[in-house]
A = this chain, B = another copy of it.
Amino acid sequence: MSSGRQTSAERIYGRDLEVGRVYQLSEFVMTRAELIDFALKWDPQGFHIDQQVADDGPYVGLIASGAHTFAVMQRLSVLDVYDHWAVIAGKGVSDVAFLRPVRPDDVLTGTLTVVEATSDDRNRTLVVVDSELTVAGRPVLRARVSSYVHATPAV
């Protein structure tokens, strides 16, 4: 589960990353119980945690916290993609867009597309990916995520 448990030989380095490559993410089911639990801790607004408030609101029903959908994106990205890369650390995220509400029992999946991979003279590769999560084929979240990856094993 941890990239740290992989040996160097198994890992993908910055030098090997191809701009334009698209990674398919696996699926995550947003259960009603988890939607509410996450929001109670991290985003306790009525339309995330209170069925009655949500039913009376503009979305007519509970919707997931954007912080939750963002966390789902990170989970799928790590398990399916970053876990195989020699990641140093995240750098930043730009242009996070919540395009449609995510509701109980929605099945989230998506893609991650490499849009930039630039190595520097400190053996680091700045990797920029466009992430998109979808529900039933329609986008719910887009974000551009930048990370540093070891360019080669010689660190």
Q: Please list the residues of chain A having a beta carbon within 8 angstroms of any beta carbon in chain B.
A: 1-5, 41-47, 49-50, 52-53, 57-59, 63, 65-67, 70-72, 74-75, 78-79, 82-83, 87-98, 101
Contact = CB atoms under 8 A, between A and B. Distances in A.
Contacts of A95: 92, 94-95
Contacts of A67: 67, 70-71, 74
A102 to B, nearest CB: 11
A88 B43 contact: no
A46 B5 contact: yes
A42 B75 contact: yes
A75 B70 CA distance: 14
Contact of A4 (B46, B74, B101): B46
